[in-house]
Amino acid sequence: MLAAWRTVAQRRQCPRAPALLAAARHLASQTAAASTQSASVAAEVPSSSSGSEPSARLLSSSQQPEERMDFPGGSVPFTAAMSFLGGTFSPRAPLPCYRTIDSAGLAIADADIPHELDQETAVKMYKTMVTLQTVDVIFYEAQRQGRFSFYMTSSGEEATAIGSAAALTNDDVIFSQYREQGVIMYRGFSVQDMAHQCFGNIHEQGKGRQMPIHYGSKALNFHTISSTLATQLPHAVGAAYALKLQKRNACAVAYFGEGAASEGDFHAALNFAATLKAPVVFICRNNGWAISTPATDQYRGDGIAGRGPGYGMASLRVDGGDARAVYNATAAARKIAVEQQVPVLVEAMSYRSGHHSTSDDSSRYRAAEEMRQWRARDPVARFQRWLVDQGWWSDAQDTSARQEARRDVIKALETAQKAPKPPLSAMFEDVYARMPWHLEKQQAEVFAHVRTHPDACPADIPVK
Amino acid sequence: MQRLGALLRRSQGDAVLAPQLLRTYSTMQMTIRDALNSAMDEEMARDETVFVMGEEVAEYQGAYKITRGLLQKYGPKRVRDTPITEAGFTGIGVGAAFQGLRPIVEFMTFNFSMQAMDQIINSAAKHHYMSSGAITCPIVFRGANGAAAGVAAQHSQCFAAWYSSVPGLKVLAPYDAEDTRGLLKASIRDPDPVVFLENEILYGESFPVDQAVLDKDFVLPIGKAKVMRSGTDVTLIGFGKMVGYNLKAAELLEQEGISCEVVNLRSLKPLDREGIAQSIRKTHRVVSVEEGWPQCGIGSEIVSIAVEECFDDLDAPPERVTGAEVPMPYAANLEAAALPTTDHILAAVKRVMGK
With a cut of 70, say whether residue A407 has pLDDT above it: yes
Minimum mean pLDDT range among A315-319, B1-5, B106-110, B125-129: B1-5
> Domain containing A439: what range?
425-456
pLDDT of residue A39: 40
Would residue A29 count as lying in a domain? no
Instruction: Count other C-beta atoms under 10 Å from residue A80's C-beta.
Output: 7
Query: How far is it, in rounded angstroms, from Cα B170 to Cα A435?
Result: 12
pLDDT of residue A64: 53
With a cut of 50, say whether residue B16 has pLDDT above it: no
Contact present, A70 and A39 (Cβ < 8 Å) = no
With a cut of 50, say whether residue A262 has pLDDT above it: yes
Would residue A208 count as lying in a domain? yes
Nearest to A80 by CA among A50, A60, A53: A60
| Residues pairing with A316 in the sheet | A346
Residues of A in contact with B88 (CB under 8 A): 234, 264-265, 267-269, 271-272
Contact present, A330 and A168 (Cβ < 8 Å) = yes
Query: How far is it, in rounded angstroms, from Cα A241 to Cα B95?
Result: 9
A223, A265, A431: residue with CB nearest B91: A265
Tell me phi and psi for residue A389, to 5 degrees: -60, -30
* CATH classification code of B29-214: 3.40.50.970
Total of domains in chain A: 2
Q: In this predicted model, which residue has the larger pLDDT, A91 or A427?
A: A427
For residues A254 and A400, state if they share a domain. Answer: yes
Minimum mean pLDDT range among A89-98, A259-268, B263-272: A89-98
Distances (CA, A) of A13 to A119, B12, B69: 29, 79, 62
pLDDT of residue B319: 97
Instruction: Tally A–B CB contacts below 8 A.
Output: 154
Would residue A25 count as lying in a domain? no
Give the pLDDT confidence of A201-220 residue by residue, as tens digits. 999 988 888 999 999 999 99
For residues A357 and A446, state if they share a domain. Answer: no
For residues A328 and A434, state if they share a domain. Answer: no
Q: If DSSP codes are grouped into helix, strand and coil, which group holds residue B194?
A: strand
Give the pLDDT confidence of A435-456 residue by residue, as tens digits. 999 999 999 999 999 989 888 8
Give the pLDDT confidence of B251-283 residue by residue, as tens digits. 999 999 999 999 999 999 999 999 999 999 999
Nearest to B298 by CA among B282, B283, B276: B276
Q: Does B101 touch chain A (CB under 8 A)?
A: yes
pLDDT above 90 covers a percentage of chain A that reads 75
For residues A195 and A153, state if they share a domain. Answer: yes
For residues A335 and A437, state if they share a domain. Answer: no
Sorting pLDDT into bands at 50, 70 and 90, what band is B19? very low
Instruction: Count other C-beta atoms under 10 Å from residue A452's C-beta.
Output: 8
ipTM of the complex: 0.84
- Average pLDDT value for residue range B201-208: 97
Q: How far is CA B173 from the centre of its chain?
A: 0
Contacts of B192 (CB under 8 A, 6+ apart): A432, A433, B128, B136, B137, B138, B168, B169, B170
Specify whether domain B226-352 bears CATH 3.40.50.920.
yes
pLDDT of residue A16: 52
Sorting pLDDT into bands at 50, 70 and 90, what band is A26? low
Helices (H), chain B: 2-12, 32-46, 70-74, 86-98, 117-118, 127-130, 160-164, 177-189, 211-214, 241-254, 273-283, 298-310, 332-338, 342-353
Does the bond joining A91 to the residue before it have cis omega, within 30 degrees of 0?
Answer: no
Question: Domain with A408 in it: what CATH number?
Answer: 3.40.50.970
Query: How far is it, in rounded angstroms, from Cα A464 to Cα A443?
Result: 11
pLDDT above 70 covers a percentage of chain A that reads 86
Q: Does B192 touch chain A (CB under 8 A)?
A: yes
- Average pLDDT value for residue range A256-264: 96
Sorting pLDDT into bands at 50, 70 and 90, what band is B18? very low
Mean pLDDT of chain A: 88
Minimum mean pLDDT range among A319-323, A385-389, A410-414, B3-7: B3-7
Give the pLDDT confidence of A31-81 residue by residue, as tens digits. 544 444 444 444 443 444 444 444 444 555 455 556 888 888 889 999 889
Task: Name the CA dihedral angle for B324, B330, B333, B338, rounded to a multiple of 10 degrees.
Answer: 10
Nearest to A223 by CA among A188, A191, A253: A253
For residues A329 and A442, state if they share a domain. Answer: no
Contact present, B285 and B234 (Cβ < 8 Å) = yes
For residues A269 and A349, state if they share a domain. Answer: yes
Contact present, B187 and B47 (Cβ < 8 Å) = no
Mean pLDDT of chain B: 93
A207, A214, A265: residue with CB nearest B88: A265
Query: How far is it, in rounded angstroms, from Cα A102 to Cα A405?
Result: 27
- Average pLDDT value for residue range A343-371: 96
- Average pLDDT value for residue range A90-100: 91
B96, B130, B136: residue with CB nearest A239: B96
For residues A197 and A108, state if they share a domain. Answer: yes
Chain A: give the shortest CA distance to residue B87, in Å: 7
Give residue limits of the domains in chain B.
29-214, 226-352
- Average pLDDT value for residue range A133-155: 96
- The reply to whether B198 belongs to the active site is no
Containing H/E element for B270? Answer: none
In angstroms, the first-to-last Cα distance of chain A is 57
pLDDT of residue A389: 97
Would residue A70 count as lying in a domain? no
Instruction: Count other C-beta atoms under 10 Å from residue A42's C-beta.
Output: 17
